[in-house]
Each structure stands twice: as structure tokens, then as C-alpha cells.
Amino acid sequence: MSTHSTHVSQLIRPEKDTFLHEENPYEAMMSRFDVAAEKLGLDPGLYKILRHPEKELTVAVPIQRDNGDIEVYTGYRVLHNTSRGPGKGGIRFDLNVTLDEVRALAAWMTWKCAVVNIPFGGAKGGVICEPTTMSTGELERLTRRYTAAIIDLLGPDSDVPAPDVNTNERVMAWIMDTYSMHKRHTVTAVVTGKPVEMGGSLGRREATGRGCMMVTREALRKLGLPIVGARVVVQGFGNVGSVTANLLAREGARVLAVSDKSAAIYNPAGLDIEDALKWVREHRYLDGYPRAERITNEELLALECEVLVPAALENVITSRNAGSVRARIICEGANGPTTANADRILEEKGVFVIPDILANAGGVTVSYFEWVLDRGGYFWDEENVNDRLGKIMVRAFEEVATMAQRHEVSMRQAAYMLAIERVAAVHRLRGLYA
């Protein structure tokens, strides 16, 4: 700890600010950072460094729509911290993308990579658009123009994007191709989450959900609860939520309810997740699914269960509804689904929260494998990928749980403390370039 006369607590803004900005994702993330930094006695200088993103880029993304009109979209890319390695973080296409959101997600990626101890820093990107109203050709033109606009940041040794909200393997293929055309040779390691045929890793698509299942299993074991028959509720039935629900069901859990943007469905005897997945493949959304009762999203979040998995977007559990949560365990499949104010309520209720920077780190872990395999030109089979993922997720859960017990803090505070300690240690070793 520094002997500098300024203490980190003097640099932290008053706690009341978090109440004014409960649904601002950057404020929510930084309020957790502030608590962890103070508990660690973080050096004030390091506190200032870790609180500020290294780079923020805002770009105009003009494209020609299919009808001939020119439309200009706004895109962002933020590198929060690259002291431990290249920036790593997804790209999302969504109307609700903001610079504050991208900043928060970039910082979350810094802590997430540090929690599972992989050599990446945090980054994130996004374009403000409504992809559901765009043709495949328009999405390709948007992706390629956005990639060209941020290309100076990208590279296997500097910044490695991945899929996020409303982006997928195809979008990653376009990014890789655009980058490679500019570099005049194929660079597979510039993105992860690619199609397997282009250097993607087996198991990557299911990795985030599989990681959620793994840490949920560890949490149930820690609390002395059996996984067989455990009641599970999943909010969000996209990639993460559906995979988590399916894998927990295979482990013997009883999935009571799931939801997507169209509907929330409930069956007290347990849903047939394979059947629900088949319905979504055929109809795109859960709406109209005939073998379950329709409930509201608010009712879903308040169902009595052992495990609640918020796997959609940020700020789902807030001070307004945290008091109605009746889960023993919350596994945060999404980034930032619980606000800082809700944390206090859940702690008082004794809810065991597996924080996002641990719970959904399976995706970035297998992205790390993909990056390594692309650079080496040698690929593992899916069993090997899943086995290595399991070892990293279980180890990270145990390390966070140990930190929580040692400092008598929540799992969230412990995860932030572990991550900040690891990033700060690298900054101390590297020193300050002047």
C-alpha cells in the first residue's frame, strides 16, 4: 500500500450518487469497483489509472441501404485496460447502445479476464442500429464499414472482438475478412467466436452457458443443495440462457420458467427445454409455446426457486424488484443484470449471487482458447475444450469464494477484489512509462 497522503476513499464519490444513476451501467460498475478498491487499500495512483479507459473511439458508419438511401450510424470501441494483454470484448448492434454502456462493458471485461486469470484486458464495441430491420446485405456493409473505421485498434496483439448482442459467427467472419483484406493476408486470430471452418473453436457457442452451469453446480454444492430437482428460472432464452437451461436440465435440475423478448412461460412440473428449443428454432420466439402457462417477466423474477439466471440485458434486478426475488442463488448470465442498490437488498435477504464477471466468463475463456489455437494453427476437440473450461471455471469459483470468506464480503465484492488485485499487480510490476 502506498504511503501517499491521499487515501483512495478520498477519491471515491459519495455513495448517494449511485442512487441517482442506478440504471447507468458505468456508474453501477464503478460503484462496485470503488468498494473493492477501498477494501483492498488500493494505491490512489493505481485507483486513478484503473478508473479511466485507455482509449475511446467514436466513429461515423455511413452505409447505403438497399433502397439506395444513405444512412449514417454511430459506432464505438473502448479499450479499458490492456496491461495484462490485448483488449478482449464483444461488439453489439443495438438501438440502446451508449458510450457509457460500452465503457462499463469494457471495464467488466477487464475484471472478468482477471477473475479467470487469462492474459487479456477489457474492451467493448457497439453500433447504434436496429438490426432486425436490416437485410443481410445491409448488416454486412455496416459491419465492414465499422471494422474499417476502428481498424487501427484491432489486431491479435492489441484488440480482439467477439460476438455480443445481435452479432454472431457470420458478423465475426465479416470482421475477420475485412481486417485480413486490409492486412493483405488471412488473420484468423483478430476475432473469436468465428465459424469453426474459419478457425473458430469447438464449444465456443455453448461456452458462456456451460460456464454458468458449472459455477451454478459449484454454488449448489457449496450451499449443500442437490442439483437433481433444483428449481431453476431463466430470464432470457437467447444463446446464454437457453444453453444454461438445457445443460442444467441435463444435470437433473427442474427448469420452471424461461423467457425471451416475446414471452415468459412457466410450468411448475418443469419445462421440456429440448422441446422449447425446437419451438424457438421453428418460430423464432417463445410466444405461442403451447405446453406452458404464460406469465409476466415480473412474475418470473419473483418465482420461488433455488436458482435464478438473469441472462438477458443489464439492470433487470433493481431496488424496485429485488425485494420480491425468492431465489437461493442468482447466477448472472448477462452483464450487469443486478444494480448496486439491488445488491444491498439481496445481501440482506441472504441470496448467494454468482457475479457476472465470474458467472459468464466461460465465453471469454473459450475465446482465449480460440485465440491461442488460431495463433498456433492447432485445434482441440470439443471434449478437450470443455474439460479445460471446467478446470478454469471451478478454480476461479473457488478462488473467489476463498477471497469472500477471508475478507467477509459478498462473492461480487470478492470477485472485484481478486480482479483488481491481479490487474494492479501487473501495473506495479510494469511501472509507469514516462
Give all strands (DSSP E) within 214-260, no chain letters: 231-235, 254-259
- 88-112 per-residue burial string, b: 16 or more CB within 10 A, e: under 16: bbbbbbbeebbebbbbbbbbbbbbb
Determine the Cα–Cα distance for residues 276 and 282; give it in Å rounded to an integer: 10
- Walk across the sheet containing 159-163 and list its strands: 55-64, 70-81, 121-127, 87-93, 159-163
Q: What does each C-alpha distance from 341 to 54, 177, 309, 323, 410 come to in angstroms?
A: 28, 43, 19, 11, 14
DSSP code for 294 = E
Contact, 364 vs 389, CB < 8 A? no
The continuous run of DSSP H or E covering 56 comes out as: strand 55-64
| Structural contact between residues 162 and 368, judged by C-beta atoms closer than 8 angstroms | no
Torsion on CA atoms 111, 117, 119, 123, rounded to nearest 10: -20
Helix (DSSP H) and strand (DSSP E) numbers for the chain:
16, 12
What values do phi and psi take at 91, rounded to 5?
-125, 125
User: Residue for cell digits 471515491?
Assistant: 12
For the chain, the first-to-last Cα distance in angstroms comes to 22
Closest to 338 in 3D by CA, of 363, 359, 364, 356: 356
Strand order in the sheet with 326-331: 293-295, 264-266, 254-259, 231-235, 304-310, 326-331, 352-354
Half-sphere exposure of 8 (CA within 13 A, CB side): 21
Q: Is residue 370 within 8 Å of 204, Cβ to Cβ? A: yes
Q: Is 124 noted as a catalytic residue in this protein? A: yes
Greatest alpha-carbon pair distance for the chain in Å reads 65
Residue among 39, 55, 88, 124 flagged as catalytic:
124
| Cα–Cα distance for residue pair 359/251, rounded to 1 Å | 17
307 phi/psi in degrees, rounded to 5: -135, 125
Distances (CA, A) of 190 to 87, 141, 174: 11, 19, 11
- Catalytic residue list: 124
